[in-house]
Amino acid sequence: MTIYTVGHSTNTFEQLLSLLKRHEITAVADVRSQPYSRLNPQFNKKPFKAALKNCGLSYVFLGDQLGARSPDPNCYVNGKIRYELLAKTASFQSGLERLQMGATKFRVAMMCAEKEPLACHRTILVSRHLHDRGVEVRHILGTGDIEDHEFAIGRLLKLLHLPDEDMFRTRAEMVAQAYAMQAERIAYTPDEMTLTA
């Protein structure tokens, strides 16, 4: 099973559609917590869903389960979302199952706002847990090229100046550290509330 990811930021609808068509995507799973954008209103939930339907693509909103912002106060520490807590919730796990079930019937791309996969929770949170479940995750880059999740994580290690492994830690431990560091950098804090996603 393969699930793709894509970011809409800085794209027109036509540019995003071109990326989706190029990779034969048949359904978009919107994982934005708030499916609205002041900067890109063409990606607001209602018109976006209608535009996809007109092009023969299905749309499902999963931001209430797989979004980076949770209404559950138990997912926050010192006012900041903690991905490791969010990932343990029944809602998040149910969202992963829905996504996997959808991928048995459709060629699915998870969509969020960020163009760069490493700057988005769709990679650092959702793709991580899909990958742990044995799902192949492939990121559609803004250029239209594909980046396998394993390659993206190798890129994250380099970005954070972490080795693949060292004398005292395995690669899995280094990757876990990289996920934690990047989550700390990008995780949502409620006073950042904007509609730019």
State the CATH number of the domain containing residue 24: 3.90.190
How confident is residue 193, by pLDDT bands cut at 50, 70 and 90? very low
Q: What is the pLDDT of residue 191?
A: 61
Asked if residue 196 belongs to a domain, the reply is no
Asked if residue 194 belongs to a domain, the reply is no
Mean of pLDDT values over 86-108: 97
Sign of CA dihedral 113, 118, 120, 125: positive
Residue 93 has pLDDT above 70, yes or no: yes
Q: Residue 65's domain spans which residues? A: 2-189
* Rounded Cα gap, residues 196 and 169, in angstroms: 38
Provide the whole-model pTM: 0.89
Mean pLDDT taken over the chain: 92
Asked if residue 158 belongs to a domain, the reply is yes
Q: Is 178 helix (H, G, I), strand (E, B) or coil?
A: helix
Asked if residue 197 belongs to a domain, the reply is no
Domain count along the chain? 1
Mean of pLDDT values over 149-157: 96
Mean of pLDDT values over 101-107: 97
Which residues, at least 6 apart from 72, have a Cβ–Cβ distance to it below 8 Å?
86, 89, 91
